Amino acid sequence: MLEEIEKITREVLKKITPARADRARLEKASRTLESKVSAVCAEFGVDAIVRLEGSVAKDTWLREDPDIDVFVRLPTSVPRKQLGEIGLKVAKKATQGQEQIERFAEHPYLETFIDNTRVNIVPCYNSMPSEWLSATDRTPYHTDYVNRRLSKPLRKEVRLLKKFMKGIQVYGAEIKVGGFSGYLCELLVLHFGGFVRTLQAFSQHMPRRTVDIEGYYANRQRELDLLFKELLVVVDPVDQARNVASAVHPQQLHSFAAASRAFLQTPSIEFFYPLKMQPLSVEELHNTIADRGSSLVFLTCDKVQAVPDVLWGQLYRTQKALRKQLQLNDFKVLRDAVWSEENAIFTIFVFELESRILSPAKKHVGPPLELLKECDRFLAKCSDNSSVVAGPFIEGGRWVVEVRRKFTDAADLLRSKLKSGGRDMGVAELIAENLRKDFLILIGEDVTEHYIYNEGFAGFLTEFLSGKPFWLEKPCYFSR
């Protein structure tokens, strides 16, 4: 099996390792940019250290998507409020005449392109370790640490791990993905000693895993356990108070563990290069929906305009609130998901329910007999209540009644709860604003129009209906 894996990784490395020409091109572009930014700093009288950081500086970038990150390290005397402002001013001047996009992380930074290569010009403080003033202050130290520790052969391994994670869609710390950052990949390879070894470790899944490369918590495991609550903890070698894996959502950790196990059992290049998914035809879509017997309920509204991390934070929060509301009203949610896309005009939430329609009658369990006053109040409330169908009667030491449900149709429930936006039930602010203007509840095949209209959504829904990760798709996947 290891031979098979080696054959595959060789093939992958051929594709993802930057060629000499790529390197040269990027190096030149970086140096030019560095000088330009430095010059502008001098011109503006800004006392800054300008340096290339990130995957290009560490030589762990993938040939297919280089990202030039130039950091402008400002003196700690610069007020916090002016950091972004100065950074933007310098960056804009240095890239004058090029496309410029203002982005926001903790503070604004500038995105631009040189020869189709994305370039980020990011301001930060030249602060000392453990005296961080902004989140990006650590980045130069990360670059230094990795360059000092990561051997040349291991850089290949990092590339493989990154590409594998991209393939199975767990790469990237942005909120939409909630996955593994590039720096995290570097640390994992450093700690486990390679790509396959990292996969081997994670394939032996454990509910919680802590990695402490520098041994900051040697003999203080309990302290580490109390400090960090996440399922995966990788103590930052440049900051013992920070978990590099804090953005990794449990779902993504689990996907990585399961995919690692699957790859080691049945290696295939498709983990790195997934086949393009073919959306179902409309007829197939209708058959699939009809065949499974569950109910698909869609909620769609205009797309919210916001930067991705804000947008996806709001979308996920709203998805959770809607799911909870359905469950509170006894609908059995089999699965749920949300779809949105940069250039789409709509956003769509999908809920697969066991059944959209519930029986009108349900059991309502009241207080236990020993809570005397509560029982009196419960019985009084039941005695002139038209929603009571049977009882009150005693069951298991509690008063119980059968009552008529308020909502027997999930679509009615959502319509009723969302007509004023749904802020009170936890819908995120920007989404609630859009819902208040207008929304649509679609049931099953009603979604066809949206499906035909947007290929991205069609692909998403096809994947959702299958439910299976692509790397489990092979029919005889598990050899006996």
With residues binned 3-state (H G I as helix, E B as strand, rest as coil), the percentages for the chain, rounded to 5, are 45, 20, 30
Q: Which stretch binds a second copy (CB under 8 A): 87-95, 127-135, 356-364, 419-427?
A: 356-364
Is residue 290 at the binding interface for a second copy, with CB under 8 A as the rule?
no
- Told to check if 289 binds a second copy by CB under 8 A, we report no
Residue type present at position 448? T
Between 106 and 354, whose beta carbon lies closer to a second copy?
354
386 touches a second copy (CB under 8 A): no
Q: What is the DSSP string of 154-191?
A: HHHHHHHHHHHHHHTT-B--STTT--B-HHHHHHHHHH
First-to-last C-alpha distance (Å) of the chain:
15
- Tell which positions 205-224 bind a second copy, by CB under 8 A: 205-207
Which of the stretches 23-31, 267-275, 382-390, 444-452 binds a second copy when contact is defined by CB under 8 A?
382-390
Q: Out of 404, 415, 423, 436, which residue is the one contacting a second copy (CB under 8 A)?
A: 404
Determine, following the binding rule CB under 8 A, whether residue 467 of this chain makes contact with a second copy.
Answer: yes
Measured in degrees and rounded to the nearest 5, phi and psi for residue 135 equal -60, -30
Q: Which of 199, 358, 410, 427 binds a second copy (CB under 8 A)?
A: 358
Distance CA 30, CA 35 (A): 9
Task: Please report whether residue 469 would count as binding a second copy according to CB under 8 A.
Answer: yes
Q: Are 235 and 243 in contact (CB under 8 A)?
A: yes
> Of the candidates 241, 248, 239, which has an alpha carbon nearest to the alpha carbon of residue 226?
241
Q: Does 77 bind a second copy (CB under 8 A)?
A: no
Examine residue 75 and tell whether it contacts a second copy (CB under 8 A).
no
* From candidates 103, 229, 292, 406, binder to a second copy by CB under 8 A: 292
Task: Give the shortest CB-250-to-a second copy separation in angstroms.
Answer: 7
Q: State in angstroms the smallest separation of the CB of 255 from a second copy.
A: 6
> Which one-letter DSSP state was computed for residue 281?
P
Cα–Cα distance list, 392 to 83, 384, 396 (Å): 66, 12, 13
255 counts as binding a second copy under rule CB under 8 A = yes
Q: Which is nearer to a second copy, 14 or 468 (CB)?
A: 468
Given candidates 360, 387, 416, 453, which one binds a second copy under the rule CB under 8 A?
Answer: 360
Q: Does 380 bind a second copy (CB under 8 A)?
A: yes
Separation of alpha carbons 345 and 357, rounded Å? 30
Amino acid at 221: Q
Residues β-bridged to residue 302: 346
Is residue 389 at the binding interface for a second copy, with CB under 8 A as the rule? yes
* 229 lies in the site for a second copy, by CB under 8 A: no
135 or 390: whose CB is closer to a second copy? Answer: 390
Q: What is the layout of strands, in order, in the sheet containing 49-53?
A: 49-53, 67-74, 117-125, 108-114, 100-104
Q: Which of 355, 385, 387, 420 lies at the binding interface for a second copy (CB under 8 A)?
A: 355
Judged by CB under 8 A, does residue 258 bind a second copy?
A: yes
Rule CB under 8 A: which of 303-342 touch a second copy? 332, 334-335
The reply to whether 387 sits near a second copy by the rule CB under 8 A is no
d(CA 213, CA 118) in angstroms, rounded, equals 32
DSSP string, 94-114: HTTTS-EEEEESSSEEEEEEE
Which range in 5-13, 180-188, 219-227, 348-356 contacts a second copy by CB under 8 A?
Answer: 348-356
Nearest residue to 246 via CA among 156, 138, 319: 138
Sheet with 361-368, side-by-side order of all strands: 361-368, 398-404, 388-395
Residues in contact with a second copy by the rule CB under 8 A: 203-207, 250-251, 254-255, 257-258, 261, 265, 291-295, 332, 334-335, 352-355, 358-363, 368-370, 372, 375-376, 379-380, 383-384, 389-397, 399, 401-402, 404, 465-469, 472, 475-478, 480
